Structure 1
Amino acid sequence: MAKIEVIKRSGMREPFKAEKVRKAVMRAGASEKLAEKVVEKVKRNIYDGITTNEIYNIAFKFLDKERYSIASLYDLKRAIMRLGPAGYSFETYIGEILREHNHRVMVRQILRGMCVEHEIDIISYNGSNGYTLIECKYHNKEGIYTGLKPVLYTYARYLDLCERWESDRDCIRFGSVMLVTNTKFSSKAIQYAKCRGIELLGWRYPKDNGINSLIESKGLYPLTILRKIDPVSKRKFADANIMLIKDLVYMKLEELSMKTNIPENKLRDIVDEAKNIIY
């Protein structure tokens, strides 16, 4: 194959690497055999200057025909970006993920700092680690990095609340601070966070323990990963505070219908899709 360069979402060019495609689809649950078929499909359709988005679409459409459930898992990053338009808040989703990983969580809390009041996205408590102040930065478009600015204002809030505790011990004492995003962090954001001891949680960051790993390790997939669900039903699930597809699987249809006001015959198709993804 002649040298092929790919245009990333940042506009930068890099050589096409088949191994990246193979690893991505295998992370979604594809077998080595199926992953190799995807790679071959991509190779037959790529050209010099192809975008990463085009490569993604080639792989996704092929998976969709071969294994519908794996295509849905391959679509996880975009499913998270669909949370906002579907009526879900990103901080609520992150709170659910942390609860499943044994954190005690409070979402959207108002706390007074030394200088001003702050609306904190998440307060997490995890045993010996104490309380963590967590701010969430959500993006609903691909190719956007979470840069230095959100890290700076997250740390400023943390300092103001810590200073309040020094003057008034009758309030929460935060032992750590974290910024969570559904995309990647810029190099400056990472550099500053390391310098100040700020924890970062993003897409594939830290390596092997990013937000995607926390989701995949416990099957904490959002309802927006389902593709047989219409916008009206998504809104009804959101209004009923049902966010994870695993909740659909473990709840009786009658109870689910009462909570969402969605007919059981319609719910049955949605639940079947959820089961195919989880199992």
Structure 2
Amino acid sequence: MCTMRASAAPVSARDLHPKSKLQREDDVLTRYPMPRHWEDPELNRPFGRLNRIVFNLLCLTSIGHTGLKRVWGAIKLEQEGDDSVWSGGIERICDRLNNMLLVAGLLLTTSAAFITTTPPRASTVNYTLRGPYICILGSFGLLIGGIIVASVCVLVLGKIRPYWCETVLYGNRFNVYSTMILISYPLFAIGLAAVLLAFGALTAVWCAEDPGVQRAAVLLLCLPIAMAILFAIVCATHTVQPQDTQSPVCRDQVSTTCRLRKDESLA
């Protein structure tokens, strides 16, 4: 009596290691190269380095990356039937814009209170003077513009489709810059408005006659500047340490694969 041993179905590494979103984007980028007007500006052209810095800055402030590779990969993955990367990217951008809208609303309320009220004690803080009042008015106007543009961006991005994004919003170099400037405008406007509002309030304190409040204002100004300097130092002194890039889960999956292959060979 002869017995036949059924061989187990081979288990590939792909079954045990599903690709992440970044890996799927990298794969689709190799199959579909980006158009020339999507790529970073060349450094060998006039003002090439400046153009590269501006382009990367706009990409960072609009989509959260220093280039458009992730957007192109998300569009091509959606065309192949995988819309998870595209949906996740749009959701992240909308969440960031909604957070900026929340901050802008708080700043708008503060600036409106300064504009429409008189200081309770002019000897401590007097924001009705010409300099502080102009700064607060400028902040108020920038906040209104930033809120309008951010609201429109949220409404449009919520309904945008990848094909229309590829052919219209990123159809040529001019459209690429225009789209990134449009999405980045709320960040720049609200950030500049916050700086103007803070400068107007500090100027109102410095123009008053209370030395204690003036010293406290200097301290409040130094704290965020110190945080920015600290962050810059951390980024500038960062060094990549050699380490094992494989997580424990990956090591367990690799050992499982080796064990299954060994069982197949014995069978």
Q: Taking structure 1 as the reference length, what is the TM-score of the superposition? A: 0.30
Q: Could you say which structure has the larger radius of gyration?
A: 2
Indicate the structure whose relative CO is greater, using CA pairs within 8 Å and at least 6 residues apart.
2
Q: Taking structure 2 as the reference length, what is the TM-score of the superposition? A: 0.31
Which has more strand, going by share of residues?
1
